[in-house]
Amino acid sequence: MVAKKVLDTVAGLRARIEQYNYEYYVLDAPTVPDAEYDRLMSELMRLENRHPELITEDSPTQRVGAQPLSAFSEVEHKVPMLSLANAFEEAEMQAFDRRIRDALGVDEVEYLAETKLDGLAVSLRYEQGKLVSAATRGDGRTGEDVTRNVRTIDCVPLKLYQRGFPSILEVRGEVYMTRTGFRQLNAVQSEKEGKTFANPRNAAAGSLRQLDSAITASRPLSFFAYGIGEVGGGELPATLAEVQEKLKFWGIPVSPLTRRVHGLAGCYDYYREIADRRAELDYDIDGVVFKVNRIDQQTELGFVSRAPRWAIAYKFPPEEEVTRVIDIEVQVGRTGALTPVARLETVFVGGVNVTNATLHNMDEIRRKDVRVGDTVIIRRAGDVIPEIVRVIMEKRPRGLQPFRMPDTCPVCGSEVIRQEGEAVYRCNGGLFCRAQSIQSIIHFASRRAMDIDGLGDKLVEQLVNNHLVDNVADLYDLKKEDLLQLERIGEKSAANLINALEKSKTTTLARFIYALGIREVGEATALALATHLGSLDKLRNADESTLREIPDIGPVVAAHIVSFFHETHNQEVIDRLIARGVHWTDHKPAVTESGKLAGKSFVLTGSLSSMARDEARDRLQALGAKVTGSVSSRTDYVIAGAEPGSKLDKAEKLGVTVIGEDEFLKMIA
């Protein structure tokens, strides 16, 4: 017999988990971090594993799936699940509203407006507050029994929350997959060389209709309720808006974008608002739905054929169309990444004429097998760049050749490289490539690099766009009269920038290395390179094995460094910088004392009276220490200056050693 203390603990854990689920999925206002939720769930699972007789069907732990089915059984809908009539133009909406007003004999109708999710319609049946069955729409009268699969969806309550619900309550809604979840699922499927999905709707439908519910449990499915079916043993409010509030009260998630609107003007305002916000949503919608809000008016209006007279779906312009790929070009981004872009025969999709579609990267092209001359399906969602969904293989002409990424940059002719394990090809001419010039100059001039005061982002863009500067070496050829040609640059500003450029010529080797913008070479790595190699010449000639002997430099960073200096164009820009007077004092070989803090991790908080935080960080790094921005159990010391922040509190909670400024100065002396 299970002790009363265990029974009470299990009941308490379930109550707390159900409360947190309600806050997370329904209110969208979680009050505990994920770690605390996971801890409670683990404790409940531990107790249920120890006392299996305590496991109930509605326990929060029972969402892992069951033994695979051989086939789905059929479920008859007591109240048919009907489709909706569609409107594509304002004239059709006007006709719908006029019919409603004429039938009801009113001047204006209150509608409930909601987004039309692009997912799979399902019906959830609760008896005495417990989920007993779930079914797909099917043909509207008979659907498939997907109860075991729906039980694995975290946001669907296994028993209703709060109180006051009817003894029989059938909830209608949509199972869908977020765009984020869809991308994550396809990434996992690709790694396992499994089936990838064309879009979130297909992924949601395929996941819900798995005979093995354990597979469904592993998929990121969500649910929003939008209405009700059969109701028995209780009453519901008089309007659909109030019904949805009741569903939310009972723990069933409903869309936060649902609202009441008045008349046709309110419908149009809602349609335009959602159309504008469509791209920012993390789930696909293909229109909005308007329903007469009062349920007695719905009953009066009734049904026609397979659709209710009191509701309509106002669809957005089509987002998928068929067109042909006439070319694949390669664009070079500000970071040197090469992105293939499909040039298309113009097609009207999503409300605009589309002539280009992103192909993302070479892996995506191979996965979809896109070739010049292919007939393809194009999708456009809101203001998002159009993309190719898939190739229509049966329309492929014979002899089309697979696309190959170029060996040299189409902008500057530098070598194109792809590091092992990466999807992106990159131009290696970081200092030379015009496509990367704005980004490389902004980084070069930044405070922690060459510290060129007054050379901000907007000014860099003007210099590049007016062809006064193509790369960082050109900065030191600028004359005051060149700057006076630019907008908002007067005599004083021009003189100040020329002086700042001259001042920046005196720097340190570590700053110069960091300013070059070598991939994954941050300040700490630049300092390590300068400290251990001592000179730029040694760095330029170092091979990967030499670089990997330096602490914290692994094979990837070493490969980036060697590749950067292997590119002739980068070497030429560096030589020009040195020729124009950029200089520093080479480091002497590091002595033992300089590494006395090697392996130690520090965090700075508050202000120091003896030096700036940046200088303190440099001093620590020069002695081999690692300086991070957040406190963890792996932090060795927290240096607390005046007015320390929350980092001090966290250090004290974790038991990390805290030292003041005086002790810090002794440590680095």
Within a domain: 605: yes
- State the catalytic residue, choosing from 4, 5, 78, 116: 116
Listed in sequence order, the residues at least 6 apart from 281 whose beta carbon sits closer than 8 Å to its beta carbon are 115
* CA within 13 Å, CB half, 348: 2
Q: What is the structure's pLDDT at 643?
A: 84
Tokens 């002539």 locate to 355
Percent of the chain with pLDDT over 70: 95
Q: Same domain for 290 and 148?
A: yes
Buried b (16+ CB within 10 A) or exposed e, 242-268: ebbebbbbbbbbbbebbeebeebebbe
Is 647 inside any structural domain?
Answer: yes
Mean pLDDT, residues 489-507 taken together: 94
Rounded CA-CA distance 371/324 in Å is 10
Mean pLDDT, residues 258-266: 96
Residue of 357, 299, 300, 291 lying closest to 323 (CA atoms)? 357
Quote the pLDDT of residue 592: 37
CATH number of residue 655's parent domain:
3.40.50.10190
Domain with 615, as residue range(s), is 592-668
pLDDT in tens, 91-108: 999 999 999 999 999 999
Residues in the chain: 669
User: Domain check: are 131 and 107 in the same one?
Assistant: yes
Domain count, the chain: 5
In a domain, residue 256? The reply is yes
Amino acid 114: pLDDT: 97
Whether residues 368 and 457 fall in one domain: no
Residues 111-147 have pLDDT tens digits of 999 999 988 999 999 999 999 999 998 878 888 999 9
Band (pLDDT 50/70/90 cuts) for residue 67 is low
pLDDT in tens, 593-603: 446 787 888 99
Please determine, for residue 294, whether its predicted confidence score (pLDDT) is greater than 60.
Answer: yes
In a domain, 422, yes or no: no
Structure tokens at 551: 């602490």
Residue identified by tokens 């990367």 is: 436
pLDDT of residue 1: 65
In three-state secondary structure terms, 168 is: strand
Average the pLDDT over 321-343 and give the result. 92
The pLDDT-based confidence of 344 (bands split at 50, 70, 90) is: very high
Residues 189-214: tens digit of each pLDDT: 877 766 778 778 888 988 998 888 88
Please write the tens of the pLDDT for every residue from 612-634. 787 788 778 777 788 887 888 88
CATH number of the domain at 330, please: 2.40.50.140
Q: For the domain that residue 31 is a member of, what is the CATH number?
A: 1.10.287.610
Task: Kindly indicate the confidence band of residue 409, based on its pLDDT and cuts at 50, 70 and 90.
Answer: very high
Lowest mean pLDDT among 155-159, 217-221, 469-473, 619-623: 619-623
Beta strands 130-136; 303-304: pairing state: unpaired
Residues 336 and 473 in one domain: no
Tell me if residue 262 falls in helix, strand or coil: strand
Tell me which range, 283-297, 547-561, 606-620, is most confidently predicted by mean pLDDT. Answer: 283-297
Q: How many CA atoms lie within 13 A of 214 on its CB side?
A: 4
Of the candidates 664, 618, 656, 661, the residue with the CA atom closest to the CA atom of residue 641: 661
Contact 381, 350 (CB under 8 A): yes
Q: How many CB atoms lie within 10 A of CB 327?
A: 10
Domain end (from 284, 315, 346): 315
CA–CA gap between residue 493 and residue 604 (Å, rounded): 35
Residue 116 phi, psi dihedral angles, 5° rounding: -95, 100
Supply the pLDDT for residue 594. Answer: 45
Q: Are residues 203 and 270 in the same domain?
A: yes
Structure tokens at 471: 């790369």
What pLDDT shows up at residue 159? 92
- Considering the domain architecture, whether residues 39 and 152 belong to the same structural domain is answered as no
Q: What is the mean pLDDT of the segment spanning 413-434?
A: 88
Least-confidence region, from 37-41, 311-315, 495-499, 545-549: 37-41
Higher pLDDT, 70 or 489: 489
Using the predicted structure, report yes or no on whether residue 437 has a pLDDT greater than 60: yes
d(Cα 212, Cα 197) in Å, to the nearest integer?
18
652 pLDDT above the threshold of 70: yes
d(C-alpha 461, C-alpha 441), whole Å: 9
Q: Are 534 and 611 within one domain?
A: no
82-109 b/e (C-beta count within 10 Å ≥ 16 → b): bebbebeeeeebeebbeebeebeeeeeb
| Averaged pLDDT for residues 538-551 | 90
> Is 503 marked active-site?
no
Residues 306 and 325 in one domain: no
Whether 27 shows a pLDDT value over 80: the answer reads no
Lowest mean pLDDT segment, chosen from 30-34, 88-92, 250-254, 461-465: 30-34
The dihedral through the CA atoms of 247, 249, 251, 253 has a sign that is positive
266 and 134 in one domain? Answer: yes
pLDDT in tens, 374-390: 999 998 755 457 889 88
Domain boundary among 299, 315, 331: 315
Q: How far apart are CA 418 and CA 663, in angstroms?
A: 47
Task: Give me the chain's average pLDDT, please.
Answer: 88
